[in-house]
């Protein structure tokens, strides 16, 4: 067997394409995280509502996303949603809708888990002081819950960044898609995909180290 000669240079020559891809990854991830938090707040409100129908809707939403693969959501939004809604969606819009609706479900669970982890005694203590339900939630429960939600929130956000690579299947130019183009131009899949793996690893490892730092800082308060 002939020894394979590694040549990262050939791949790195296309760095502007990869950089563009990295930008694409960051852009849809950030958008999806922001929209996901907003959507998650809404879904969590439904899930914890006193009205059964609202609760049922929230639960169905969450369970649907938890129990179906992400790639199905991407394809459904890109190919099926335009049929139902009679709209035209580009890969970017479709990817963001898929990623944001999916992360809404997961963030909703983070919010709910955090709020429900606060003991009944805290609610009782607050109402005993004459606070209303909303006041108790805002002044007593949420501040305590927020701290417990940091770790699962960070974990979920990392999942979003990783899941954003599925946008490549819709030909949206994020990191993986751009990498695929580079691989086919250079005929160097080994170097290209190894490099991609490395970029993702460094990106997420860096972010998780930052997150850990922030978490430790928060726990001290």
Partner 1 sequence: MGYQFDFSMVIKILPVLWRGVIVTVELTIACLAVGLILGFFVALLRVSPAAPLRFVGRAFVEIFRNIPALIQLIWFFYAFPIVIGAQLSPFVAAVLGISLNTAAFSAEIYRSGIQSIERGQWEGAMAIGMSRAATFRRVVLPQVFRRMLPAFTNRAVEVAKVTSLASVLSVHELMYQGRVLSSTFYRPLEILTTVGLVYLVMIYPMTWASAAMERRMRRRA
Closer to partner 1 by CB, 132 or 184: give it: 184
Least separation in angstroms between residue 42's CB and partner 1 is 22
Closer to partner 1 by CB, 135 or 215: give it: 215
Q: Is 219 left (phi over 0), alpha (psi -120 to 50) or beta?
A: alpha
- Give the span between the Cα atoms of 169 and 194, in whole angstroms: 19
The CA radius of gyration of the chain, in Å to the nearest whole number, is 21
Least separation in angstroms between residue 45's CB and partner 1 is 21
SS3 132: coil
Least separation in angstroms between residue 127's CB and partner 1 is 25
User: Counting runs of H as helices and runs of E as strands, what totals does the chain give?
Assistant: 11, 0
Q: Name the site residues for partner 1 (rule: CB under 8 A).
A: 1, 4, 63-64, 66-73, 75-76, 79-80, 83-84, 86, 158, 162-163, 165-166, 168-169, 176, 180, 183, 189-190, 192-194, 196-197, 200-201, 204-205, 208
Cβ-based neighbours of 87, under 8 Å, separated by 6 or more: 81
Matching residue, tokens 């394409």 = 17
Least separation in angstroms between residue 14's CB and partner 1 is 16
Closer to partner 1 by CB, 137 or 199: give it: 199
Closer to partner 1 by CB, 44 or 203: give it: 203
């Amino acid at each position: 067997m002939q020894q394979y000669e590694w040549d990262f240079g050939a791949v790195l020559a296309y760095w502007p394409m990869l950089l563009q891809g990295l930008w694409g990854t960051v852009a849809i991830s950030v958008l999806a995280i922001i929209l996901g938090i907003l959507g998650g707040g809404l879904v969590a409100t439904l899930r914890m509502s006193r009205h059964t129908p609202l609760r049922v809707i929230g639960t169905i939403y969450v369970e649907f996303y938890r129990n179906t693969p992400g790639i199905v959501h991407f394809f459904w939004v890109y190919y099926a949603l335009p049929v139902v809604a009679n709209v035209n969606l580009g890969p970017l819009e479709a990817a963001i809708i898929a990623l944001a609706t999916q992360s809404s479900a997961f963030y909703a669970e983070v919010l709910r888990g955090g709020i429900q982890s606060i003991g009944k005694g805290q609610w009782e203590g607050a109402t005993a002081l004459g606070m209303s339900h909303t006041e108790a939630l805002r002044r007593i429960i949420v501040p305590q819950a927020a701290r417990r939600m940091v770790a699962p929130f960070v974990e979920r956000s990392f999942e979003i960044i990783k899941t954003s690579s599925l946008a490549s299947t819709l030909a949206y130019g994020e990191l993986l898609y751009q990498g695929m183009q580079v691989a086919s131009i250079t005929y160097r899949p080994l170097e290209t995909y190894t490099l991609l793996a490395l970029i993702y690893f460094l990106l997420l490892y860096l972010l998780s180290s930052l997150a850990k730092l922030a978490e430790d800082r928060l726990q001290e308060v």
